Structure 1
Amino acid sequence: MTFLEAISFRPLPVTLLAVATYISLLTGLLWVHLVPPKVAPQFELNRWGVNLTDAWQDLRQITGEFRPYNAHSNDDVRDFLLKRITDIVKENQINGYDGEIEIVDDNSSNVLFEGGNANGLTVYFEGTNIMVLVRGTDATLSPVLVNAHYDSVSTGYGATDDGMAVVTVLQLVKAFTNPSRAGEHRIQRGILALLNNGEEDFLNGARAFAVHPMGKLAHSFLNLEGAGAGGRATLFRSTDAEVTKWYKASKRPFGTVVSGDGFKSGLVKSQTDYKVFTENLGMRGLDVAFWEPRSRYHTVDDDVKHTTHRSLWHMLGSSLEILEAATRDTGREFDHEEGPPAGVGHDGVWFDLFGRAFGLLRLHTLFALTITLIIVPVIMMATTVYFLHTSGKFYYLSNTPLVPQPPDESHLPRTTRGWRGLFRFPVAFVVASAAVVGMAYLVDKINPMIAYSSQFSVWAMFLSLWWCLAWFVLRGADADTVRPTALGRGYAFIEQWALWWVVLIFVAVSIDQSHIASGYFVLVSYTGVFLAAWLSLLELFGLPRKTSQRVSYESIHSEGHSQIAPSGPVSDDEDSEPEANERTHLFRGERRPTTFGGFARRDTDAHSSHSLAESEPHIHGVFGREQAWSAWLPTWIWIPQFLFSVPVPLIFTTSIGLLLSTATNQTGADGSSTLTIYLIMAIMSILILLPGSPFYHRISYQITLFLFVVCIATTTYNLAAFPFTDSSRLKVYFQQSVNLDTGVNSAYLVAHPGYVESVVSSLPSAQGTPLNITADPGRVGLKRVSWPGIPPKVAGDAPMKSWLEANATKLSATSARINIRGLNTRACKLNFKEPVNSIVVNRKGVENLGEPVGPQGTKEIRLWSREWEQGWEVEIAWAADSSVDGVKATCLWADANNARQEIPALWEVERFAPSWGVVSKLADGLVEGWREVRI
């Protein structure tokens, strides 16, 4: 066998290359997706001046208890962080660091702002932030802000939200004030490290920073966040391409602009401090965050044992490299005097490749490339078709008669049969894609939450289903006894190119109209498929002219070969097949199937009763019963076509598919549409496999048989399996409300409609009691189940009815003063039936704050104090045509560190709920005590 024969377009080489490509690339992509990079060697840690062991110990220290703003443990963590920062700075200064460092313990920043609630919300907050300013050598350059929040939710230890970011900031201060490092690498642009408190409740800490004088110093930022428990820290979003170039310095970049577009388009509802820095302060910067698994987010599973040193190093190492690049950037583009403090950048497009390389370009560059790819390939294809047509070599869509016609008794084809395969790919695409989309609806109907714990089983089902059906149509239509054609691959590429061309139009519109860059991967797939399609046309130049090709019929001999002279075409007559009779061989042309699904010539026996007129001859250089003129086609052209259309598009599309599925597969617990999850996975499965489909008809049936088994097994599992596991637990949201006048309390659990009742039914206090089951008003798509819970004991030794004191004094027909105070709390709120349009908050020893509320007024005021049990005095006013005759005064309890004694209803849920369920907070307060106050 010659080398060209070994690499020809036949089942064995195609199968080997396809299997090797898909397995190697998918394995690599999954590894990068699931496994954080190794911790750097000790010499690199020493070079940076950081200590990962100390960072891990700090993480364990601050995550020992829940630390929401409204818990005493929050103060303990704050004291610990202040001491750690002071010790780090003092040690580095003693060892010789001579740069200027300023530590700010902020106990004076208070803010009153609109909370953005649709019903009208105003928030009053008193900040307790910690700031460290490390000045650079160039005082004219603004420092770079690096931010993390040290509070957690009331039901989570916050190892990744946001503990690892906090200890990262500590190590950044240590690194950039390290005397041994500063000698050679003293920063030119300073660093402003911010540890803010109160992020979990309306981004309060960042808003307090915005009114502090230091909030005006920095014009660029790096925000560090967490929305999962482990894994890699991804580049969530970025304001522009210019600031994103700092991220290119990361040795292990991870992220894609698709996540940023999710925020931009409103698909991602949650927010980080990034929102305050960009919208309130006009800054430019990066949002880097842990992002999965979401089932551990805001739960007790967000703890140290569910994360790793690798994850910590990925955030810390990336932050060091980003800030190194930022502090060395002496450009003035972030220090504009006109317009926003940081100027205006250009929308960027960015993505990582295998967590090793990072691509970055401007959005307008992507748009220019998109328009170019829409126009230029069409011109190239049209020009190529023109030259093929004028040279008589455009075999596509041809049915040119042979000259001369073969003898009637030969039963040979009488035309070129160049139109065969025209509808093969469209049929395969429609059948396979419709089945996959239909399966998405079926899974959503029967077992909608299975992706919560088994997203890779769902991936395997969609991918194997599309492959099997597409293979069946393409291979079945191309079978040696049906409609074999040498142009099947070319038709598939040309038609697929036309399909991607239409998609590219939509990408161009989304870039131009909405500034959405997520379609960048389409350009990659489109380009690969176009090059493969173009090669399908170029290879036709190697064929003889359709009107001059001749077959020397006399040369057909008993060995089953035909000698084709470059002087005439072969035909495409559908009726040229000989009629079968009792002497017809099972395999026409006396060929037998090979191991990999092809056909080999069977030598003619001397005593065979067959004549050449009764069986088509096997033509040397032609696969099976394909057109005889295909012997002139290059046997190797499929290899560059494969390399253009499969590997690179597979990398880009699969990376985005994994990000989308992992970001959404557990959002059903929050009330999001589960159908959307499956449609995303189904569509991405189609796009992953689509570029390689022109090769399916040459891939061994054994591969498809294996994938068929996979499809059956995963489909059965996905439709029947229980959707939650101990490692992927369903989040159930808890809150307890107490009427302090009557003592009546209700405990609530809010969760997915199919499972919340079974969780409540497992609780001893809910046995034999009436359950109130309604749709939750705050979380669309979820169900609320309430029952008389075990009464809380959050007022210390005092009875619960004395927990909250509130009174109101009417000042005029349209104004009043309300005083509210709670025992052992620093968070309360006021709710009005009618909106108020003016608010002034008075606090003893604190400057009064008041400003207009939203244009529609406000129905709720949240009140946060840095001190305990101090209370607030709130003056309100309302429109003359309105009537505010009462207020619902509520105080909040958010400390679950001693839940068994203080919130026994919560402890009961944690103790008796099924192992596949885990508690998260429903609102700011785990317990709300309230009473009505007349004005």
Structure 2
Amino acid sequence: MTRVKSILGFNPLSVTLLAVITYVSLFSALLYIDRQPPAVAKKGELDYWGVDIEEAWSDLEVLTREFHPYNSRPNDDVRAYLLERIQEILSRNGVAGFGNELHSSGYGYSGTVDLFDDGIPGKPGSNVTFVGAGQDLTVYFEGTNIIVYIHGELPANELSPVLVSAHYDSVSTGYGATDDGTAVVSILQIIKSFTRPESQGGKRLKRGLVVLLNNGEEDYLNGARAFAMHPVAKLPHSFLNLEGAGAGGRATLFRSTDAEVTKYYKKAKRPFGTIVSGDGFKAGLIRSGTDYTVFVENLGMRGLDVAFYQPRSRYHTTEDDARHSSKRSLWHMLGGSLATLRAMTSDTGKVFDSPNGSAGEGHDAVWFDLFGRAFPVLHLHTIFAITITLIVVPFVVMVVAMWALGHSDKLYFFSNTAYTPPPPEDSIASRTTQGWRGVLRFPVAFVAASASVVGMAFLIHKFNPMVVYSSQYSVWICFLSTWWIIAWVILRGADAVRPTALARGYGFLEQWLLWLLAMIGVAVTIGESHLGSGYWVLVFYSGIFISAFISLLEMTALQRKSEIKIVVSGGGDQTYPSEEHFQTGASENVSNPVVNEDDDANEHATEETPLFRGPNRPLSFAPHRNPRFGNGDHESGDILVEEKDEAVYGGEQGWSKDLPSWTWVLQFLMTVPLQLVLAGSVALLMGNALAQTGADGSSMLTVLLGFGTFSIILLLPLAPFLHRITYHVTLFIFVIFVGTSIYNLVAFPFSPDARLKVYFQQTVDLQTGENNVHLVGHPDYVDRIVSEYIPSVKGKAYLCQADKLKPGLRRCSWKGIAPRVVPQAPSGVPPEHDFSDWISYNVTKTGDGKATITLGGRNTRACKLLFNKPLAKSPTLGDPIPGFPNTRELRLWSRDWERGWSVELTWEKGEDRREDEKSNSRVIVVCLWSDGNKVSDEIPALHEIRRYLPVWAIASKLADGLVEGSVPFMI
């Protein structure tokens, strides 16, 4: 029994071992899951699905050989390759296709597949015109999507098909391995799996499956918007969108529309994600977009957005290639998609098929993964109800419990009940229960430690704010160790000076009040903003409440405060009678029968004499020799001190001997493990998502404060136990703190594995021949890069100023090496000396405020018109464009090369032309060139930057065009 108590007792060794093992093991598991995608499935599982990872990887290598943005010729090569692969897969599976148009009976014909090459060059396809952000941007786009419709057993008018989508274009500075090549090759394997004949293990789909490979996502989601104009787009009501915003790792569920569709993702073998990312989009904290937006807002569909999300430093750069991805990442997306789509297409319910023909409405969801295996999905209104219940019920329970303890005279918290009668005046023993001791320790420690973390965040932000870019774990460790050291010193120091058995209980009670405030905040965010990211707060709050309640229950094992008996061992070992003794009229001279029963009763008590001699034995005091008074008895200098009992830890109150010694283990299990898993997952997601956003202009102070906040949250559950953890752990943590603090303040924040992104663009005035190279980047580093590393800039003037396109960043511009994106003119004049034929335009004016502009560019299929004054009516391209007046910019995208456009424009009649003549910028024609595959020949300025950038920096595109040529003119 003694051994069991020693193991479970609330002692330093037990607490330290359990705390260290729990934190180290859980943090290690979370980091491993975050950094390492699951292994590729074995052959049996791959055969079950009918997929081939090696084949998919081979496809990925082909797709990522060159940059292939929409406005590049390699984009056409990728499109041709995908069409060929799809036809090959369908032919291999013996599936019939129906050409390029919907046939009247096709929807109900079981086992057929329709293949649509939407937008063959030179033929009509899905064209779209839409208004952009700010209502002053109009976009005209001609789609070149690939659509495969795999029919289900039931026709689309009975069970709507499911859409799965990815985009096959890349950016002009990235090979697109994860954005979005992995998703594209996954879709090829999905087509292969879902069109297999039954003889090869295939299963007929209950619902149909519409497969979309769209082109132009990187240019304002143009491809998905063009799909919305296709007849097939009216069929599906649910979707799975596959994306990439990193360069490997695990694919996470970025966001979902509702709980009903999210439940299908639970079928994935390795689900991964949390509602926190979805709420980030909903709250506008994440400004980038995916095709999910078009499917939901334009088509009224319900679905899922699954994407890679780390590391962001490789996103949209040359490092988004197959070399920096892995087959593990490929399988994580593919395997999860197969299981999700199988569940979606097998559901014959009418959840997504309302009577009015729409997708219906779902319920807001709360979802998160547990170690990448389990995936709870809850309704947000359920979380709200639970939140309100947890706010009200535990509060009532705690009030009632404290009242009951107070009524039974066992509430030791918040009471300095005096012993009756008190010990002698010359005794140094306590005269009260010391119930207030420890009440301020947790608040003081929490405020001081948290303030220290915030101060460290400001310190790092002042001296080295971007260190988190490449060393986020160093920042995490620094913040965690800061909080630990300050909190431990205060809590352990207070326990050493004024020990109390109530320290742990006070810690739980006061932390429960802290989380109660957090719960109220969660209720407000759910009720007003429909955000469910605070789900983990419910777990923290519940665990702390249970532990606080256990601390109250522990007091039921104590004596009534008024019944505590005090025994004084002085010169004659006399009994100091209790209050009950006086009330019964017992003689004051009666000797203590308990003392007489002990074999060592007549032995002189020492400081090692146990305070408690049994479960029902009274408090006792022993004489302590005061050297000032010689060696006499009590009257000649002895003072009375409290004897110690083996059941009492250290110098804690004597009555604590009756407290259970094992309940701390239950409290630890209630407040630490699950809380670490949930908050740790959110912290890692937040860290990976935000650590490298400084390159995009985000405030690094906000990022560092976010790191600091979650560092505090991760250690809060341990606070009530911290005073029992040995100094060895804190000494080790202090050494780590010193090392990480110095590193975070002085280390260079970038590395070859985490390069600072800078953004390139070159602009050319085709009338004057003047060209400027622009490099946009972090204001602390872009000037240095331009002046110290770019050879053509050295010794020349350049201008750096705040950038308008990317707030928070700085733009440096200089006269650069002329581009040669247009083939040499027939006259033999080098194009860098003659730009006159790059853009052709013709203006026909009328007297009623209208003008028709015919424009086009060589070797491009993307141009735009800029107006210094908004149009009075919508522009017209063949047919009127309804509902888009007040346009200041018109973007034009063609599926054909060098075909051009004819645009009719209308301004207000009778406007003052004199101001226009002064500005000389009524209209600017701009054309874009986005092919970065031959930069040494065509864009030598970009080639120079790629070649001479420091190893810790990497170039990305600033806008849709790597090179923009412009011609201003008056109308």
1:671 aligns with 2:671: no
The residue matched to 2:867 in structure 1 has which SS?
strand
Aligned to 1:595: none
Number of residue pairs matched?
899
Distance 1:67 1:181 in 2: 38
Per-residue CA distance 1:687-721 (angstroms, 9 max, x = gap): 11101110000001000111111111101000100
* 2:330 paired with 1:330: no
In the alignment, the residues of structure 2 paired with residue 269 and residue 376 of structure 1 have an alpha-carbon distance, to the nearest angstrom, of: 39
Q: Given the alignment of the two structures, is residue 563 of structure 1 paired with residue 563 of structure 2, yes or no? A: no
- Match for residue 294 of structure 1? 312
Map residues 723-802 of structure 1 onto 2, 5 A cutoff: 723-761=749-787, 762-798=789-825, 799=831, 800-802=835-837
Work out whether residues 383 and 535 of structure 2, in 8 Å CA contact, stay in contact via their aligned partners in 1.
yes
Instruction: Give the CA deviation at 1:551.
Output: 3.1
Cα distance, 1:813 vs structure 2: 3.1
Distance (whole Å) between structure 2 residues aligned to residue 893 and residue 288 of structure 1: 31
The residue correspondences of 1:162-201 to structure 2 (distance < 5 A) are 162-180=180-198, 185-201=203-219
Partners of 2:707 and 2:643 lie apart in 1 by: 47
Structure 1's 110 and 570: CA in aligned 2 closer, same or farther, altered over 3 A? farther
Residues 149, 197 of structure 1: 8 Å contact kept: yes
* CA-CA distance at 1:488 after TM superposition: 0.2
Counterpart position of 2:581: none
The answer as to 2:136 corresponding to 1:120 is yes
| Counterpart-to-counterpart distance in 1, 2:765 and 2:756 | 30
* Alpha-carbon offset, residue 807 of structure 1: 2.4
Which residue number in structure 1 is paired with residue 178 of structure 2? 160
Alpha-carbon shift at residue 406 of structure 1 (Å): 2.2
Tell me the amino acid that sits aligned with residue 40 of structure 1.
Answer: A
Q: Which residue of 1 aligns with 2:583?
A: none
Report the Cα distance in structure 2 between the residues aligned to 1:470 and 1:901, rounded to whole angstroms.
Answer: 62
**1:489-528 equivalent positions in 2, closer than 5 A:** 489-528=504-543
Q: Which runs of 5+ in 1 are unaligned?
A: 585-609
Distance 1:740 1:36 in 2: 50
- Is 1:85 matched up with 2:121? no
Q: Partner letter of residue 765 of structure 1? A: S
SS at match of 1:305: helix
Aligned partners of 2:385, 2:133: CA distance in 1, in Å? 40
Secondary structure, aligned partner of 1:547 = helix
Name which of 645, 659, 684 aligns with 2:671: 645
Distance 2:848 2:625 in 1: 102
Which residue of the other structure, out of 848, 857, 860, is the alignment partner of 2:879? 848
In the alignment, residue 879 of structure 1 is paired with which amino acid? Answer: E
Partner of 2:116: 104
Residue 875 of structure 1 corresponds to 904
CA distance in 1, matches of 2:548, 2:618: 23
Alignment partner, residue 824 of structure 1: 859
Q: Deviations over 1:118-142 (max 9, x none)?
A: 3710000000000000001111211
Residue 62 of structure 1: aligned partner: 63
After superposition, give the CA deviation of every residue in 1:14-63 in whole Å (9 maximum; x if it has no partner).
00100110011110011111100000001100010001111000000010
Distance 2:338 2:910 in 1: 58
In structure 2, the residue corresponding to 1:839 is in which secondary structure? coil
Q: In terms of mean alpha carbon deviation, does 359-368 or 831-840 score higher?
A: 831-840
| Match of residue 911, structure 1, among 938, 947, 950 | 947
- What TM-score, normalized to structure 1? 0.93
User: Is the Cα contact below 8 Å between 2:874 and 2:887 reproduced in 1?
Assistant: no
Helix, strand or coil at the partner of 1:821: strand
Post-superposition shift, 1:565? 6.4
2:479 is paired with a residue of what secondary structure?
Answer: helix
Match of 1:587 in 2: none
- 1:305 aligns with 323
Q: Secondary structure at the match of 2:968?
A: strand
How much has 1:858 moved relative to structure 2?
1.2
Alignment partner of 1:266 is 2:266: no
On the 8 A contact 2:611/2:642 being kept in 1, the answer is no
Match of 1:45 in 2: 46
Q: How does 1:432-511 map to 2 (within 5 A)?
A: 432-479=449-496, 482-511=497-526
CA displacement, residues 631-665 of structure 1 (integer Å, 9 cap, x when unaligned): 00000010000000111111111110111111000
Cα 1:583–1:769 change in 2 (3 A) is farther
Structure 1 residue 735, shift from structure 2 partner: 0.3
Structure 1 residue 543 corresponds to structure 2 residue 540: no
Residue type of the alignment partner of 1:86:
Q
Change over 3 Å in CA distance of 1:119–1:240 after alignment to 2: closer
Give the aligned partner of residue 900 of structure 1. 936
CA distance in 2, matches of 1:45, 1:79: 27
Q: Structure 1 residues 182 and 839, CA, compared in 2 at 3 Å: closer, same or farther?
A: farther
Partner of 1:202: 220
State the match for 2:601 in structure 1: none
| Contact residue 570 and residue 628 of structure 1 kept, 8 A | yes
> In the alignment, which residue of structure 2 is the partner of 1:404?
421
Distance 2:430 2:113 in 1: 88
**Aligned equivalents of 2:87, 2:742: Cα separation in 1:** 59
Distance 1:564 1:394, change over 3 A: farther
CA contact (8 A) 1:402 1:568 kept: no
Matched, 1:348 2:365: yes
How far apart are the structure 2 equivalents of 1:756 and 1:819? 40
Aligned equivalents of 2:389, 2:246: Cα separation in 1 = 40
Instruction: Give the match's secondary structure for 1:15.
Output: helix
Partner SS state of residue 352, structure 1: coil
1:598 aligned partner: none
Matches of 1:741 and 1:612 in 2, distance apart? 107
SS of the aligned residue for 2:767 comes to coil
Alpha-carbon distance change, 240 to 909 in structure 1, aligned in 2, over 3 angstroms:
same
**Whole-Å Cα distance in 2 between the matches of residues 871 and 542 of structure 1?**
88
2-side partners of 1:273 and 1:463: how far apart?
A: 38
Decide whether the 8 Å contact of 2:5 with 2:661 is kept in 1. yes
Q: How do residues 322-401 of structure 1 correspond to structure 2 at under 5 angstroms?
A: 322-338=340-356, 341-401=358-418
Q: SS of the counterpart of 1:930?
A: strand
> How far does the alpha carbon of each residue in 1:222-242 deviate from its partner, in whole angstroms, 9 at most, with x for none?
000000000000000000000
Contact 2:477-2:737 within 8 A present in 1 as well = yes
Secondary structure of the corresponding residue to residue 874 of structure 1: strand
**C-alpha spacing 1:114/1:441, structure 2 compared with 1 (3 Å):** farther
CA drift at 1:571: 12
Work out whether residues 119 and 859 of structure 1, in 8 Å CA contact, stay in contact via their aligned partners in 2. no
Match of 1:533 among 527, 540, 548: 548
Q: Deviations 1:497-528 (Å, cap 9, x if unpaired)?
A: 00000110010000000000000010000001
| 1:150–1:197 CA contact under 8 A, matched in 2 | yes
Q: Give the direction of change, closer, same or farther, for the CA distance of 1:549–1:363 in structure 2 (3 Å limit).
A: same
Paired amino acid for 1:487: L
1:58-81: CA deviation from partner (whole Å, max 9, x where unpaired) = 000010000000000000000000
Aligned residue number for residue 838 of structure 2: 803
Query: How many Å apart are 1:618 and its aligned residue?
Result: 2.2
- Distance of aligned partners of 1:172 and 1:930 in 2 relative to their CA distance in 1, 3 Å threshold: same
- Counterpart contact for 1:739–1:929, Cα < 8 Å: yes
Write the distance in 2 (CA, Å) between the matches of 1:76 and 1:577. 97
Q: CA deviation at 1:100?
A: 0.6
CA–CA distance in structure 2, aligned partners of residues 813 and 507 of structure 1: 59
Rounded to whole Å, the distance in 1 between the matches of 2:846 and 2:806 is 38
Answer whether contact 2:256 2:278 (CA < 8 A) is retained. Answer: yes
Superposition map of 1:279-290 within 5 A: 279-290=297-308
Measured after TM superposition, the shift of residue 802 of structure 1 is 1.1
Tell me the residue number matched to 1:606: none
